[in-house]
Structure 1
Amino acid sequence: MQKIGMRNIKTAISVFLCIIILRFFHNENPFYACIAAVITMQSTVHNSFTTGKNRMIGTIIGAIWGLIFALISPNNVFLIGIGIIFVIYFLNLLNRKNSIIIACVVFLAIMTNLKQGTPLVYSSNRVIETFVGIFVSVLVNYLIFHPKFLDNLHKDGKFLIHNIFITSKDVFNFNGDINISGLNLQISKLEKSLDSYLSEIQSEGAEKQHVNKINKVIDTSKTAYNHLVILNSITFTNSPCNCYFNESNRFNINELFHEDILSTSYINNDINIVFNFHVQHLLETLTILRELYSEEY
């Protein structure tokens, strides 16, 4: 059974707090605050802030245009259509495309739901409620169970290296056409996680050492991946029986994996020269990866 994630829990906490806060101020319509809290809650504080900022800008712009058009004639079908054009065009001019959708939603909410109160009060309330939702969500994301990026980065890095070793062993054992694309996805995931971490902090001192280590894992893994792709292509195209390890590579494979993988004789031809070239460089890369975490794979 899949466990409930912390982002899930923090989203629920944010919604709960929004309702409590607005009820304390006798506001019985927490819908917009709760929606803002749900959307703003992201995997990182930086992403939450960015999402919240985009939503706040969209809400303000949508509320301003909604107020202007509602003062003219609320619920007017033609003005609603024209207003949407204004909202989208204006945000495009400001290069705020990520705020367009929420701006249109707020504009439509004001133009179609204005049943009591003045347009100014209704528009102001939507802006305030959205701000409450954003503020609560960012604060909760920052204060409660702050994401352990470094631990997760190293965990993902070790898992990636482990899978590279497993895949390399399969290639060395000629275990048929191997699906290597999963490694590329893991490398991309680790890169994105590192980018998220860097957006959260200023990497200095000890943290810079961690960043450099993860960067080395990523770069070295890319090198290993490239060699694996070529080796897998060679063995798949030419048949494993035509590929032989030279003495040096055979020895290093057995040393690296602590088992006698192969003992076939080497045949000197163009295929084997290219094959052993990539085997040699893959082994060098695997040695570097193993030393990064000083673990056996």
Structure 2
Amino acid sequence: MKLGMFRLGMRTFKTGLSVMVIIALFAFLHRGNPMIASLAAVFSLRQDFETTLEFGKSRVIGNAIGGIFAITYFFVFDLLHESQWVTIIVVPLLLMLLISINDGLNNNKGLIGSVAAFLMISLTIPEGASYMYAIERVFDTFLGTVIAIVMNIGVHPRDAATIAADLADRQRHSKK
């Protein structure tokens, strides 16, 4: 749909629909703030199912790494009595290590998501929260990514064999 120089494309529509599903799901489950899951869906949703699935894989790897680092930060923060200096020193050190690990794993597509997950979780831990807070936020990022992938299933439905062949072909061409 186009209105002058503005257009509402299918990707924009699917993004809005993904965020709507996430907000509704969180309200139904009384899950709290849907921000992290919504951002994960926006970051992950791409023009078609195959690209979203490929990007989603990198995002899941990045989220897992970012989440592990956020949980690590939480334990250090808690161990050192929630001192502000821990945040000032430990977050940047973990951030540098996080970037290095993603780079070493050649997870450049998932790097921004990894950093975003780490910073959003680490810097929004409410006072007195347990490590479960960090684990739940990591789960939220996975949930948002999965919803983005599901949104693209109906757009270009294809059988699993065709999708697998296309992904293998893309990987062969990217290694050249």
Find out whether 1:135 has 2:146 as its counterpart: yes
- Superposition pairs for residues 80-91 of structure 1, below 5 Å? 80-91=91-102
Contact 1:15 1:37 in 2 (8 A): yes
| Alignment gaps of 5+ in structure 2 | 167-176
Higher relative CO (CA 8 A, sep ≥ 6), structure 1 or 2? Answer: 2
Q: CA deviation at 1:48?
A: 0.6
| Residue ranges of structure 1 left out of the alignment (5+ in a row) | 149-198, 204-297
Task: String of CA shifts for 1:162-207, please: whole Å, max 9, x gaps.
Answer: xxxxxxxxxxxxxxxxxxxxxxxxxxxxxxxxxxxxx84758xxxx
| Contact 1:70-1:110 at 8 Å conserved across structures | no
Match of 2:30 in 1: 26
How many Å separate the matches in 1 of 2:38 and 2:122?
21
Give yes or no for the alignment of 1:63 onto 2:67: yes
Deviations 1:241-291 (A, max 9, x none): xxxxxxxxxxxxxxxxxxxxxxxxxxxxxxxxxxxxxxxxxxxxxxxxxxx
Q: 1:103-154: per-residue Cα shift (whole Å, max 9, x none)?
A: 2222222332212411x212211221111111111111112xx249xxxxxx
Q: Give the Cα–Cα distance (whole angstroms) in 1 for the partners of residues 118 and 145 of structure 2.
A: 19
Deviation at 1:29, TM superposition (A): 0.7
**Count of matched residue pairs:** 151
Cα RMSD (Å): 2.3
State the 1:90 CA deviation: 1.5
Aligned residue type for 2:10: M
1:252-291 equivalence runs, <5 A: none
Q: Secondary structure at the match of 1:110?
A: helix
Structure 2 partner of 1:7: 11
Taking the aligned partners of 1:4 and 1:99, their CA distance within structure 2 comes to: 27
Paired residue type of 2:20: F
Partner of 1:77: 88
List, as ranges, runs of 4+ consecutive aligned residues in structure 1 with deviation greater than 4 Å: 199-203
Q: CA deviation at 1:49?
A: 0.8
Name which of structure 1's ranges 88-97 and 43-52 shifts more when overlaid on structure 2.
88-97
| Residue 18 (structure 1) shift | 0.8
In the superposition, the TM-score normalised over structure 1's length comes to: 0.47
Q: Mark the CA change 1:19 to 1:89 in structure 2 (over 3 Å): closer, same or farther.
A: same
Q: Deviations over 1:190-248 (max 9, x none)?
A: xxxxxxxxx84758xxxxxxxxxxxxxxxxxxxxxxxxxxxxxxxxxxxxxxxxxxxxx
Deviation of 1:31 after TM superposition, in Å, equals: 0.6
Give the Cα separation in 2 of the matches to 1:66 and 1:15: 24
Residues 1-297 of structure 1 aligned to structure 2 (within 5 Å): 1-2=3-4, 3-73=7-77, 75=84, 76-116=87-127, 117-118=129-130, 120-143=131-154, 146-147=155-156, 200=163, 202=165
Q: Judge conservation of contact 2:11–2:46 (CA < 8 Å) in 1.
A: yes
Could you tell me how far apart the structure 1 residues matched to 2:149 and 2:103 are? 26
